[in-house]
Every structure is written in C-alpha cells, then in structure tokens.
Amino acid sequence: MTTLRPIAPADHAAVLAWNEANVELLAPLSAERLIELLDQGEGMIIEEDGTAVGFVFTFLAGSPYSSPNYAWFSARHEAFLYLDRVVVDSSVRRTGVGGRVYDLIEQRAAEVGPVMCLEVNLDPPNEPSLAFHRSRGYVEVGQQVWSDHLLTMMEKQVG
C-alpha cells in the first residue's frame, strides 16, 4: 500500500540523497534549502508497505515559495496545487508506485482548488515523465525557459 507522511528530520539525509541522485532533472537541494521548502510548502515521504521509497513537495496558491515556475502558475490561477518535485527510488520504479502517489496528490489537489500544476523538462527531454503525465490527463498550457532548460508547463483539472 502506498502512503504519504510528513518529512521528519530523520528523513532529511534520505531526501537529500534521492534529490542528488536525480539532480539532472531537479533543482539542487541543500540541507538549508530543504528546511526552507518544508517551511513554505508540504514535504511528504512516499512509503510503500511502510518502507520509505521517495518524497514529494507540493505548494498551495499563496505560498511564499520563490520558484519562477510556481510564480508562472500563480499569475494564472487563484487556487491550485503545485507539484514541485517527486522522486521515487529506482528500486520501485515501474511498479505502479508513481501512479498511486499521483492518485493521492490529485485527491489533495481537488480539495484545495480546481487545478494541479507542474512542469516537465522538454530540453533536455524527460520522455518518461512526459509520457506519464500525458497518460494521466495533464496538458501543456505553456512553455518556459529556466536555468538553460526548456520546460512544458502542464495542468490537470482535478476539481
């Protein structure tokens, strides 16, 4: 069974390691920045049958989060849930964990607003992520360049 629980201080080392293992697709994350993100949004550990297998960060509309991608969606929506990053350990990829995590996050998004927002790399391309999000009904609503990456800005109506 897939569940989400708040990131605790004992989880910080694992979160930083998972982020670093995927840093080519994510923004770098220091211990200090991790604490800032936890103060501004919701950081959750992904558990599969009680074992930690990844993490996710989301932010509500009106958060003090300073991401330019979050700001892009903030300029377009009054109510939304922004998915900043999700990392699933390589040992459980392609087992359905990602889909179950999105089911949980989309349920949360439907409680707070009509839209769930995120971005995916187009250049360099993250083809598995693009295919996954399209299969779940996310559609491109714009593009943005950030830190030498071309991004597709994607949304899904959830509420």
Residue-wise pLDDT for 88-97, tens only, equals 988 888 889 9
Query: Where in the chain are the domains?
Result: 2-115
Indicate the pLDDT class of residue 124, thresholds 50, 70 and 90: confident
Whole-number pLDDT of residue 52: 97
Structure tokens at 37: 């993100």
CA distances from 154 to 73, 89, 144 (A): 10, 23, 11
Mean of pLDDT values over 10-27: 91
Whole-number pLDDT of residue 8: 98
Q: Quick one: what percent of the chain has pLDDT higher than 90?
A: 82
Q: What CATH code is assigned to 2-115?
A: 3.40.630.30
Sequence-distant (≥ 6) Cβ neighbours of residue 143 within 8 angstroms:
122, 150, 151, 152, 153
pLDDT in tens, 40-89: 999 999 999 999 999 999 999 999 998 999 999 999 999 999 999 999 98
Indicate the pLDDT class of residue 29, thresholds 50, 70 and 90: very high
Q: Is the pLDDT of residue 115 over 80?
A: yes
Whole-number pLDDT of residue 39: 96
Rg of the Cα atoms in the chain = 15
Q: Is the pLDDT of residue 11 over 90?
A: yes
Mean of pLDDT values over 133-139: 97
Whole-number pLDDT of residue 24: 77
